[in-house]
């Protein structure tokens, strides 16, 4: 194994750098000798030496795999495929379905159902677009589930094929440690296999949380895992938790016809997002008819007198309130899925929440054993797990990982969508940075006007002086697609001028990004007194600069 980790730590961005010998050699020849270093003793890190020696021993002892990955979700499967493509002998153990929570009980099923709801939304508005729907239409939850299941099956097969093509070997069964680099795999039927590997990557993901509250296990109290089995739309759904999972399901069932009550303990839904975003989503959801109750916590649940419904008691600073529901959805977070792993047998430490403890290189307390994805933080994003999988695979293959784990987008697939990356203005100022925001409203965007999607805005956070982009928050059409452009800009350390300098196609929703950047330039006094904005859209904006309620548009 060629890996030599630089003891110099992870960089400020959470990335790590394996030592690149060729670059080191280059810079040595390029620099004049430094006399102050002539007498210096070379520094030897004893811990690292021992680790390298142990790794050498493991490599030379008989072993089944160079890398054994436990868990075939986005973290584990990406890690296995990448490591195998980089020439390592890789095994991947999965006890359920390939694709993990993301593909089977998370990202893909929710987004597939939400796409059906999007069609329903458009049909309801068909007349606005000049279309008559004389035959009528109605959602069919059974058919929506059938479509969702087909999508999942197709994508799962895709993961299997990619693993096969890469040369990674898939082992079906539950893995548990019996030693530091020794794992037993118990298949549902068949013998127990004992496997040794030079490196083990734990990627076992997370499970929904059921807090220990009265009535939490009553029939009809569901988590995101069970709600996918519901074949009827509940008349009243109470969703507890106003984060990504809660908001998406509450919105979904509202559109399908439930009376949807969304409860959030914080003073506002989407508490991990910028205040303006949470406030705008709250306003829009209420406008659609959702019953949003922020600042309230779940106290208990009990069956109604007839036993047919659930009585949900919420508590807040103002006292208690009871709501009746057919179903309660718990969206209160997740916990690391490590119960069956026998981590103690390997000596892998867990943090105070029970998740696998790792350092910045995602190495656990045991050398050569790594942790990635939800199992190291309990709740995360699929792309975060996949990014960590790529990073660890590249490190294990002796490469310098090129993945940027600092700029991770957050995405919410409601209507309109929400996406953000990097710092909010408050966070930037909290870090002592002088910063400002450039904002642009979609109601002044040509494509948004033609699509009939006027809601929402883009906020770009820009550092004063350096003029670098620090972050972006979007609520509006295709927000989850637009954000990727900003991710690339942030990774490249782009300034706001560089961002504005890239000509965007017209008319597109993405034009809102350079428009917001122009606003930031203008508010920084960098436009020489010009009003920002493309000439093409000036006429459109002049028409749209005042919205229905007579408020002035933000493009000013
Ligand atoms: C309803 C919902 C919607 C979501 N939507 C999004 C979204 O839109 N975008 C997004 O980025 N994220 C979303 N997420 C989060 C995303 O699903 C997770 O962050 C992601 O799946 C984590 O990937 P992972 O590889 O760490 O673990 P997982 O996907 O949980 O995969 C872990 C795998 O390990 C297997 N495993 C566990 N223990 C063992 C063992 N002992 N032996 C063998 N195999 C084992 C499990 O069976 C599982 O297949 C959503 C989550 C939920 C619940």
80, 91: one domain: yes
Confidence of residue 39 (pLDDT cuts 50, 70, 90): low
CATH number of the domain at 450, please.
3.30.390.30
Model pLDDT for residues 467-483, shown as the tens digit of each residue = 999 999 999 999 999 99
Instruction: Assess whether 328 and 340 both reside in one domain.
Output: no
Of the residues 36, 61, 86, the one at which a domain ends: 61
Whether residue 284 is contained in a domain is answered as: yes
Residue 80 lies in a domain: yes
Residue 23 confidence (pLDDT) above 70: no
| pLDDT score recorded for residue 392 | 98
**How many domains is the chain partitioned into structurally?**
4
Torsion from C-alpha of 436, 523, 536, 496, nearest 10 degrees: -50
Verify that 78 and 201 share a domain, yes or no.
yes
- CATH code of the domain in which 391 resides: 3.50.50.60
**73 Cα: distance to centroid of ligand 1 (angstroms):** 5
Q: Which two tokens stand for residue 540?
A: 């459109």
Asked whether residue 422 falls in the same domain as residue 448, the answer is yes
List the helix and strand counts (H, then E) for the chain: 17, 22
Give domain status of residue 214, yes or no: no
**Domain of 144, in residue numbers:** 68-118+137-208+335-396
Residue 286 lies in a domain: yes
Whether residue 202 is found in the same domain as residue 72: yes
Ligand 1 centroid vs 379 CA: distance in angstroms? 9
Question: Could you read off the pLDDT of 314-363 as tens digits, one per residue?
Answer: 999 999 999 999 999 999 999 999 999 999 999 999 999 999 999 999 99
Distance in angstroms (rounded) separating the CA atoms of residues 345 and 300? 38
The least confident of 142-146, 227-231, 324-328, 485-489 is: 227-231
Pocket test residue of 108, 204, 252, 340 for ligand 1, highest count of atoms within 8 A of CB: 204
User: Are 432 and 300 within one domain?
Assistant: no
Residue 184 maps to a domain:
yes
Per-residue pLDDT band for 527 (boundaries 50, 70, 90) equals: low
**Residue having the nearest C-alpha atom to atom 8 of ligand 1:** 107
* Whole-number percent of the chain with pLDDT over 90: 79
Q: HSE-up of 158 (CA within 13 Å, CB side)?
A: 11
- 79 and 199 housed in the same domain: yes
* Whether residue 344 sits in one domain with residue 275: no
Q: What is the pLDDT of residue 96?
A: 97
Same-domain pairing of 244 and 343: no
Same domain assignment for residues 539 and 427: yes
Task: Tell me if residue 506 is catalytic.
Answer: yes
> What is the tens place of the pLDDT at every residue in 44-92?
777 777 777 777 777 787 789 999 999 999 999 999 999 999 999 999 9
Could you tell me if 264 and 150 lie in one domain?
no
List ligand 1's pocket residues with C-beta within 6 A: 70-76, 93-96, 100-102, 106-107, 110-111, 174-175, 203-206, 224, 245, 337, 340-341, 373-375, 380-383, 385, 411
* Together in a domain, 72 and 194: yes
Please indicate, yes or no, if residue 124 is contained in any of the structural domains. no
378 and 355 in contact (C-beta within 8 Å)? yes
How many angstroms does the Cα of residue 279 sit away from the middle of ligand 1? 29
- For residue 464, being part of any structural domain is answered with yes
Q: How far apart are CA 478 and CA 206, in angstroms?
A: 28
């Amino acid at each position: 194994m060629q890996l030599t980790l630089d003891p110099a730590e992870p960089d400020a961005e959470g990335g790590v750098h394996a030592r690149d010998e060729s670059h080191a050699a280059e810079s040595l020849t390029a620099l004049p000798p430094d006399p102050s270093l002539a007498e210096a003793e070379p520094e030897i890190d004893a811990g690292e030496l021992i680790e390298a020696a142990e790794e050498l021993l493991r490599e030379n002892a008989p072993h089944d795999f160079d890398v054994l990955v436990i868990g075939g979700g986005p973290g584990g499967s990406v890690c296995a495929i990448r490591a195998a493509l980089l020439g390592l002998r890789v095994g991947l153990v999965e006890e359920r379905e390939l694709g993990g929570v993301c593909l089977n009980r998370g990202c893909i099923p929710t987004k597939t159902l939400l796409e059906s709801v999007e069609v329903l939304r458009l049909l309801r508005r068909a007349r606005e677009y000049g279309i008559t729907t004389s035959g009528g239409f109605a959602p069919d939850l059974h058919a929506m589930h059938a479509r969702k299941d087909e999508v999942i099956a197709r994508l799962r097969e895709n993961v299997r094929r990619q693993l096969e093509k890469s040369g990674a070997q898939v082992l079906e069964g539950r893995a548990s440690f019996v030693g530091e680099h020794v794992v037993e795999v118990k298949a549902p039927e068949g013998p127990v296999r004992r496997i040794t590997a030079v490196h083990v990557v734990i990627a076992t993901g997370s499970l929904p949380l059921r807090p220990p509250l009265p009535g939490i296990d009553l029939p009809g109290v569901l988590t995101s895992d069970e709600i996918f089995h519901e074949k009827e739309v509940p008349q009243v759904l109470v969703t507890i938790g106003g984060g990504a999972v809660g908001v998406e399901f509450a919105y979904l069932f509202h559109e399908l016809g439930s009376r949807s009550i969304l409860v959030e303990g914080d003073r506002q839904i989407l508490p991990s997002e910028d205040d303006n975003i949470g406030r705008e989503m709250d306003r829009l959801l209420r406008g659609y008819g959702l019953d949003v109750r922020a600042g309230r916590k779940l106290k208990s649940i009990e069956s109604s007198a007839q036993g047919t419904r659930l009585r949900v008691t919420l508590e807040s600073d103002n006292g208690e309130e009871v709501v009746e529901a057919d179903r309660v959805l718990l969206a209160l977070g997740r916990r690391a899925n490590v119960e069956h792993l026998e981590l103690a047998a390997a000596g892998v430490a867990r943090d105070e929440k029970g998740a696998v403890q790792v350092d910045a290189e995602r190495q656990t307390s045991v050398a050569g054993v790594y942790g990635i994805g939800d199992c190291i933080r309990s709740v995360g994003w699929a792309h975060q797990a996949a990014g960590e999988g790529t990073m660890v695979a590249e490190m294990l293959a002796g490469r310098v990982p090129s993945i940027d784990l600092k700029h991770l987008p957050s995405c919410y697939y409601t209507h309109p969508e929400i996406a953000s990356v990097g710092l909010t203005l408050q966070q930037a100022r909290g870090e002592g940075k002088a910063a400002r925001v450039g904002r642009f409203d979609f109601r002044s965007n040509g494509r948004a006007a033609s699509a009939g999607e006027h809601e929402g805005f883009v906020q770009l956070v820009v550092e004063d002086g350096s003029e670098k982009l620090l972050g972006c928050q979007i609520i509006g059409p295709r927000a989850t697609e637009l954000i990727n452009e900003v991710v690339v800009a942030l990774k490249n350390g782009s300034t706001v001028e560089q961002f504005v300098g890239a000509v965007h196609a017209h008319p597109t929703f993405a034009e809102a990004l350079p428009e917001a950047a122009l606003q930031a330039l203008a508010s920084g006094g960098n436009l020489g007194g010009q009003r920002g904005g493309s000439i093409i859209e000036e006429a459109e904006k002049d028409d749209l600069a005042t919205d229905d309620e007579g408020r002035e548009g933000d493009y000013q």
